[in-house]
Structures are given as C-alpha cells and as structure tokens.
Chain A
Amino acid sequence: MTNHWIDIKNSNVIIIMGGNAAEAHPVGFGWVTEAMQHNNAKLVVVDPRFTRSAAVADYYAPLRSGTDIAFLLGVIRYLIETKQVNYDYVKAYTNAGYIVREDFSFNEGLFSGFNEETDSYDKESWYYELDEEGHAKIDPGFENPRCVWNLMKQHVDRYDFETVSNITGTPIADYEVVCQQIGSTHTHDRAATFMYALGWTHHTKGAQNIRSMAMVQLLLGNIGVLGGGVNALRGHSNVQGATDMGLLCQSLPGYLKLPSDKDTDLKTYLKHNTPIALRPDQTNYWQNYPKFFISQMKSYWGDNATAANDFGYDWVPKWDKQYDFTKHLDMAYHGEVNGYIIQGVNAINSMPNRNKVLKALSNLKYMVVLDALATETATFWQNADGFNEVNPAEIMTEVFRLPTTCFAEEEGSIVNSGRWMQWHWKGANPPGEAKPDAEILSGVLMEMRKLYKQEGGKLPEPLNAISWDYHNPLAPHAEEVARELNGKDLLTNRQISSFAELKDDGSTASACWIYAGSWTEEGNLMARRDNHDPSGKGVTPGWAFAWPANRRVLYNRASCDLNGKPWDPKRTIVEWVDGKWHGIDVGDFNMKLTPQQSAGPFIMQPEGVGRFFALKLLAEGPFPEHYEPMESPIGVNPLHKVTSNPAVRMLPGVKETLGSHKDFPYVATTYCVTEHFNFWSTHARLAAISMPETFVEMDEMLAAEKGIANGDWVTVSSKRGSIQTKALVTKRLQPLKVNGQLVHTIGLPRHGSHNALTRKSYSCNVLTTEVGDANTQVPEFKAFLVNIAKAEGI
C-alpha cells in the first residue's frame, strides 16, 4: 500500500477491483464501511462474481475475468474525453508532457521492437527524447504529438464504451456509472482509493492491470494524498516482509537486485543499478544505491567484506535466468533438480498444475520440509485415493519433516499491507521439539561448516564468511537480527537512525536499508504501542514503525502544489508555512529543501514524476494493452490479431497443456472464502467446522443447461486434469455477453485439502495453468478454461 488501512476512512470513492476485501480482509474492510458511514463515501465493486464486498456496495459492475485492462483503459479514455482530469497535478507531477522517441510505435497489438522469433521485445525505442545533457525533453503545453499525453490519448482512443463492453461483458449502463464515480474524484477536494489483491496479480498481464489503475490515479491526482493511493491488500501476514527480505529469485533485501551474469564485477553491477537523473535537480533517490548495497554486504559478510575483495561481491550468486517456482519446478519435472528446502509452503496444493508438481517432487532425491503443520506437500509420497494417487514404493525421494514454531511461540516483526513493522511477543513454548526456522537453518549451516572443515569441498568461503556472530550461532535471537536489519555505524558501533547515514565505503552496515530507523539507539521502535492519532486523520506515528522512515503515506509531497500549499486544506499531510515544512506525517522528500527544490514527488524515479509511459520497465509495453487470457473463452482478441500477451514466457511443452474454448468453454476463476486462509486454517477446528468442504460455484442458467442441481456432484475438467466436487448454484454468478456470445464463469475456492480437519477435498490447482505474468511469472489462477458435467455414480 502507498497508504495504509486506517487511511481508507479518508476516501470519497472506494473501488474494489481484483479483490474481495469484505471476505478476504474482513477487518481491514471495516475502514471501508467507516468511510461510507462517516465520510459519505461511495463503494464501487467490479468483479466477475457478486461478492460479499459487492453485497454492501453502492454500485456493482460485473466483468469477465481477465479483461480489467480494457475496463480501465476505457475509464482513462472517458476521463480525458470528459475532461475529468486533475490538470494541475498531471502537469506538475507526471510525465504527460515528456517527449517520446520518434521510433516508438504501436501497431495492431504490438509495440515497436517485437521479435517474433524470440517472442520478446527490444525495448530501445520505449524511451524519452533526450537533450545534449541527457535530460528528457518536455513540452509543458502537451502540443507535441509525440508527448506522452498525446500518445496515451491516441492509445486509449480505441476503448470506447461499446468496445469495452464487448470485451468485458460489462453492461454499458453499469460501466458508465463506475466511470462517473471514479471521475468525480478529479477535483482537489475528493480522493479515490483502489483496493486490489490476487484478483489482479493472478493473470498473464497482472502487472499491467495494476499499472492501468495507477494511471487512472495519476490522472485524478489521487496518489500521495490522504484517502488515495495504490493499495495492494497483500496476502499472508508477512508477505510484505518476505518481499522486503528479498526472498525471491532475483532480489536482495530492500528491493536491491541480485546480480546477474551481466554484472561481471562490483563496479559494473553498481553502474547498472544506479540511475542518472533524467531531469535537472532531481532527488533521484536510487543514486544512493551503492551506499545501500555496500552496507548490505557489510551486514552479510561482516569483517570479511573489505574494499580489497569488493566487499564480498563474488560470493553473491549471480543469475542467468529467472528461477521462480514455476521455472524451477519445470526443471525438477525434467529431472534437473536434486533437492528442495520447502519452508512454510504447501507447494503441492498451491503451485499450478498439480499433476506436474507431483511428478516434479517425485523426481527429487531429497526434500526438507520446515512447517508448523502436517501439510500435503511433506506427504506427497503417500497415497490418498482420488486426491493423490501414487505408489510410495516407486518414489525414491528422501524426505525430512521438521516442526517449526508458529506466530504465538516466537517473537519478531511482521509487516502488514500498510508497511507497518509490528513486533510481536512469544506467548508459549512450541509443541514437542519444534524450533523457529532461524534455529533450524543455523543447525544445518553449522553442520555444513563442520563438513567443509573436515573434508574440504567446493567454494567453502561464502559459507564460512557469512556473518553468524550471534550470541548463540545455533539460535539467533530475533532482537539481534532486528538490530542487524536496521544497521549500525561500524566506527562508533551505534545503531543508525536513518538510511541517510549509510556510506559506500564499508564504514556502515545495514541489512535492509528501508528498515533503517526501526531499531535505533532509542530501542525497538517496532514494539511501540501508542495508538494516539493527533490529527484525527488516522496517522498514528507512535504505533510500531512504518518503513521507510516511519512514513505513513508515500509520495506525500504530491499532496501539495509546487509552492508547498496543500491541494485540499482538509487533507493536509505536509505543508510549507513560514519558510518551513510542517506536517502530520514524515515527508517523503528532504524536508530541508524548499517547495520548489522538492517539487519532484516521485523521488525514486530519476525524473521525479509519475509515469503514464513506463519506459522499459515492463515486458509487454510502456502502455497497458488488452490481451486475452492464455485460455480465452472467445478465442480471439476483438481489438487486433494479437490474442494473448505476446511477451509471456512459454516453457517448452507448456503450450500443449493449454486448452481451447471449443473443448473447455467455461471461464474458471479461483477465490478465497472468509472462513479459510487457503489450506492453513483447514487445520484449525473452528474454521474447519464453519466451512468443512469445497465446492464449485456456477450460475443458474449453466446449471439448468447441464442438468445440475444445487448440491449435485460434478466433474470439472481442464486440459491439465479433473476434479470431483459439489455444485453450488447461485445468482452471484451471471453469464455475460461477450463478443456476440454468452460466457459463463465458474468459481473454485482455494481451500481444498485432503489431509486436514476439513472433509477430504480436491485442490483446485489440479486444473490451473502454469503460464504466468510476463514480468512476475505469477500464474494465471484467475482466468483459465474448464468444462463441467454432472458426475455419475457418486
């Protein structure tokens, strides 16, 4: 979230799209109803299903799953055409006036630079025109036909109401109301917030779904203001923290990059990752990248990181390809992987295409599972008729199942959607011999060090050099690690209080620069529990610590005009009064600068402004474009000949696992029910009693056509497999008219388990496809094709 949960109460219009907060984030949703009751806010819900969020909405519009970009580009067209644009904001704080290179183009569904042989883009032309000094050229009057504003206008011009409705299936009357509601927040005194979750990320163009919305928010001047923002409702309790910790195949903590083969040495790596300002006098905060990285290396390797050895740069593994879950499991499927350490992930139920995952795990020589619960993953080698059909004697994988503590039995910090790092305390000992993950990994590492010492082996240096100087190397304390995450001045041995103190000469250490300030000489700021809200705007600076710098609303410089005057005096976050900045929140800029000096509010961008045109950052283009899901129920893209996202990664053999709408005519989408958190709460008795099984949700017309009654057993099949379950026939799903045909959608809850306290049930990943978003590789769990039939003989 750019903002935070409580801030939703400051919104005037709340759009829930790509999520279902009432059901999946019910307590956070309390701030939506608060805004409706006390701020006269309107709630708009756009979803293929009439969800529990929709049930309390002022306006609901259905759309076909996988068509959000068409929906939102149509909103952009409407806003521009009806002049419901916050022009002051757009002119001052976005790249609308920036001039794009002459060789950039978009024709028939493809941007310039597409290579049909490699199915990827040469992105050279997706950039600004630069002047002699290397600065981007601007036309402040938006008259140049090559400026972003005019290119964007031209790009969205195709998305008129009829075209949008034809693609999305949203009735025009419903669509118009949603457009009007969103448009009403273009004035300075109104703000809209968008709340989204996996409903937007689980697509082959998930990142572009979110970008389309961010473009809408920029047009309306809704970013950096109270009640506005781009608000991802994250999933697991510490998924934000896991991402902050860089537990991804190309990341390091604090959104630094894991080096690749192209970063042949430290100097080259830093050059590739340290941007040069694209406009004069910009903060360009990533110019500090070397300070963050060198301080991180000092944290990793301690005294073993010196200027002479490039601070241990060579010990950091380099990537040549993106080895995300899907790619690496595909390698395991092909026998190229020997081992897996699986920590708190029920892979066999959550990774796409279960049958393939089962084969991949069966190919492993060893697997080490760290979990608090007995998951289906650890017992993938056990037969469960109908749910996991295997012959254990044929599976040669050695499996270790190691018990871990759960939240109640350990201390540490977790980060919520609003970036609040909240410290928690231990309330009991774990059952039996369970241990925290940190102790288990330390135990393994210390044994490995012993073995390398005894018998030698390949490259023992990083293993020995990694700093593990905890009071007990077999059991690092959360406090010690939290202090390490914050970082210290190595000359004085004092905890630093801000990332501004970090140096690139090896004299400071900080594992994760964005966490600097969380554990200072004052102590553990994450443990603070002062809920005082002095401004009444929901900003509670004394409750825990919000990264970065205890800032509660990101980009808040954009809440003021160029002279530091709030656009809306009722929504003041910061303001320039009597030659000084004042505010209820920590400014997202250098508060020693004048308003004019700090006028680029998007300080992480080298040009300091928000981007309608994303330059080279995304795989499939600098503007979003509607492409059909990989499995499309209409089989064509009504706009042009490019049916699905042209830049997706298609691993060899995966194309054959995709079904056609002729054999699998119905769209399937997955979702969560409020009683369950995937296959985790299914082990908690109360949750298991309140929602004891799974089902497939379908509309009445489809049920009638197929002769299926509520509660009947049905078979749902995709090109990848089939499951049997009960039908739930509802009015919440309705067929939509798309491109001249009726499209039915069926819904599959994600909580199916066969080894929990709930009734034995299918897991919906039997059906899902592994093709993922072209940037993030998040699998397309929200739009794939199935068939459905009444099951006989059950």
Chain B
Amino acid sequence: MNRRQFFKLCAAGAATSAISALGLMSEKAYAAVREFKLISAKETRNNCCYCSVGCGLLMYSKGSNGKNAEQTIFHIEGDADHPVNRGALCPKGAGLVDYVNSPNRLKYPEYRAPGSNEWTRISWDDAFQRIARLLKNDRDANLIEKNSAGTTVNRWLSTGMMTSSAMPNEGGYITQKFARALGLVAIDTIARN
C-alpha cells in the first residue's frame, strides 16, 4: 500500500465508523467527515532545494493545470519513502512552500537604465535583444583570438559569469555550453564560497 492509498483507507475508515456509530448503516447518510485535504491534491515528487542532503519531498497542488485551472502548490512535506530523510525535513525544508510562494519571487523581466533609481518592466523579446546586443558589442571588441605567442586562445575576459548551484544539471550543462561557445573563461559557481 502506498501513502496515497493509506490516506484514502484512513478517510474511508473514519467515515464508515462515524456512520455506524450513529446507527445509520443502512440509511442514507446526511453527515460526512471532512475529506482529508491532500486526497484531492495532485502529488509531485521533488527534492529539497536548500542543502545537499537531497531530502525527498512530496509537493501537493490544486488545479488540473488545464486552461483557467492553474496549478498552485499549497503544501510540501518530506517523502516518507525516501531512504535518506524517511519523511523528515529540517526547519528550512518545512517552510519550503513559503519559498515557492514568497512575495519576493520575481515575475517579469525588468530593466534598470544607467543612473536610474527604478525598474521598468520589459518583454522577454526586448530583454533578449538588448542583452544579445550588449554581449555582442563587448565580445566583438574584446575577444582575444590569439595570445602574444600566436597560440589560438579564443577567450573573452571582459565579461564574466557567476553560475547557480541550485539549478538542475541540465540547466548547468546548457550554461556550460553557452559560456564556452561565447569564449567565457571567467565563470565560477558559488561552490567556491
């Protein structure tokens, strides 16, 4: 029996015993216990994003993710089947749903002009175009194709990249390919600090 089946059984058992206690077994039931709130939720497996113990998570969301039914996560708990955390989470992990739904999450691309004291919202296309222009101008001006000994080195030092240690490997590899294709060598991950 998995965890979900266990919940269903418990809820069904509670309903049945409540009904029999009232002597209404063969009659139509007018009252029912409130359904356990996770039963109707969608359960998704994930791992904690904070430290490297890699605790298993179960994330619960409402909504089918169809049109007009946005999925939203309302509860996160430890995965009892996970061999390392066995259902447990630390104080940080226990509050993960507050990170996912933090009021400080960024929602739109924004731009701050030189000397300005504010953000202005821009579109993704606008962001990509402007960033590509800035990167290209700097790369064209500063890419070093050969060193003083005449060796091909193709490095670009006037732009650097700091890379995330929480994104998945797949994003990491895309980052690696992006950076090296451009000629970046000043790339570093927060692993160092």
- CB of B142 closer than 8 Å to a CB of A: yes
Interface extent on A, as a size class?
A: 35 or more
Known: A398-B113, A445-B178, A676-B92. A529 touches B45 (CB 8 A): yes
Interface stretch of the complex, out of A118-126, A236-244, A658-666, A710-718: A236-244
> Complex formed: what's the CA distance from A72 to B60 in Å?
47
Question: A323 to B168, Cβ gap below 8 A?
Answer: no
> What mask results when residues 627 to 663 of chain A are scored 1 for a CB within 8 Å of chain B, else 0?
0000000000000000000000000000000000000
| Contacting residue for B160 out of A328, A381, A463, A515, CB 8 A | A328
With an 8 A cutoff between CB atoms, is A303 at the interface?
A: no
Report whether B170 and A399 are in contact in the complex, using a CB–CB cutoff of 8 Å: no
User: Shortest beta-carbon distance, A260 to chain B, in Å?
Assistant: 9
- B131–A368 touching, CB < 8 Å: yes
Inside 8 A of A235's CB, which chain B residues have their CB? 51-52, 165, 190-191
Contact (A241, B83) CB under 8 Å given A317-B155, A341-B161, A424-B47: no
Asked whether A427 is an interface residue with its Cβ less than 8 Å from the other chain, the reply is yes
For residues 672 through 701 of chain A, which have their beta carbon under 8 Å from a beta carbon of chain B?
Answer: 674-677, 680-681, 683-687, 690
Q: Is the interface of B mostly helix, strand, loop or mixed?
A: mixed
Structural contact, B52 and A674, CB atoms closer than 8 A: no
Question: Do the beta carbons of B153 and A261 come within 8 Å of each other?
Answer: yes
Residues 241-269 of A at the B interface (beta carbon under 8 Å):
241-249, 252-253, 258, 261, 264
Of the candidates A24, A246, A317, the one whose C-beta lies within 8 Å of that of B183 is: A317
A415 within 8 A of B: yes
In the complex, what residues of B have CB within 8 A of residue A350's CB? Answer: 190, 193
Q: Are B73 and A408 in contact (CB under 8 A)?
A: yes
Q: B154 to chain A: which residues have CB within 8 Å?
A: 314-318, 459, 462
B127 within 8 A of A: yes
The segment out of B11-19, B30-38, B116-124 that lies at the interface is B116-124
Given contacts A247-B188, A248-B189, A686-B95, contact A478 B170 (CB under 8 A): yes
Complex interface residues of chain B between 81 and 128 (CB less than 8 A to chain A): 81-86, 88-96, 98-100, 102-117, 119, 124, 127-128
- Residues 208-253 of A contacting B (Cβ, < 8 Å): 233-249, 252-253
- A533 at interface (Cβ–Cβ under 8 A)? yes
Say whether A757 contacts B102, CB under 8 Å.
yes
In the complex, how many angstroms separate the beta carbon of B139 from the nearest chain A beta carbon? Answer: 6
Please tell me if the beta carbons of A323 and B46 are within 8 angstroms of each other in the complex.
Answer: no
| Of B93, B124, B185, the contact of A435 (CB 8 Å cutoff) | B124
Contact B185 A478 (CB under 8 A): no
- B127 contact set on A, CB distance < 8 A: 400, 402, 443
B174 is an interface residue with CB less than 8 A from chain A: yes
Which chain B residues border A420 with CB–CB below 8 Å? 54
Across the interface, do A392 and B116 meet the contact criterion of CB distance under 8 Å? Answer: yes
Q: Is the pair B92, A247 in contact by a Cβ cutoff of 8 Å?
A: no
Tell me the minimal C-beta distance from A720 to chain B in angstroms.
Answer: 16
Interfacial residues of chain B within 21-61, with CB under 8 A of chain A in the complex: 42, 44-56, 59, 61
A338: chain B residues at CB < 8 Å are: 138, 142, 158-159
A317 with B163, Cβ < 8 A, contacts A249-B188, A462-B183, A685-B98 known:
no
A684 B52 Cβ-Cβ under 8 A: no
Tell me the bound Cα distance from A15 to B135 in angstroms: 48
* CB proximity to B under 8 Å, residues A438-455: 438, 441-448, 450-452
Contacts known (A24-B51, A317-B180); A424 close to B90, Cβ less than 8 A: no
Q: Report the separation of the CA atoms of residues A428 and B164 in the bound assembly, to the nearest whole angstrom.
A: 21
A429-B193 contact given A320-B147, A412-B170, A434-B106, CB 8 Å threshold = no
CA distance A393 to B117 in the complex (A): 7
A583 at the interface (CB under 8 A from B): no
Name the distance in Å between B175's Cβ and chain A's nearest Cβ.
6
Residue A394 lies at the interface, judged by CB distance under 8 Å to chain B: yes
> How distant is the Cα of A579 from the Cα of B60 in the complex, in angstroms?
51
> In chain A, residues 3-25, which have Cβ atoms closer than 8 Å to a Cβ of chain B?
5-6, 24-25
Chain A 392-418: CB-based contact to B (< 8 A → 1; otherwise 0): 111111111111101111111111111
- What's the minimum C-beta distance from A347 to chain B, rounded to whole angstroms? 6
B166 beta carbon closer than 8 Å to chain A: yes
Closest to A420 in B: B54
Stretch among A271-279, A563-571, A592-600, A771-779 lining the B interface = A771-779
**Complex Cα distance A31/B83, Å?**
11
Nearest to B46 among chain A residues (CB) is A424
Do A428 and B72 touch across chains, with their CB atoms under 8 A apart?
A: yes
> When the two chains form their complex, are residues B95 and A344 in contact, meaning their CB atoms are under 8 A apart?
no
Contact of A429 among B70, B178, B189, B190 (CB under 8 A): B70
Since A365-B134, A428-B71, A444-B132 are in contact, a sample of 13 more A-B pairs with Cβ atoms closer than 8 Å, ordered by chain A residue number, is A27-B84, A27-B85, A237-B51, A239-B189, A241-B169, A247-B179, A300-B177, A315-B154, A324-B192, A402-B127, A403-B107, A686-B94, A686-B95
5 nearest A-B pairs in the assembled complex, by CB-CB distance? A412-B168, A432-B107, A344-B164, A416-B54, A686-B95
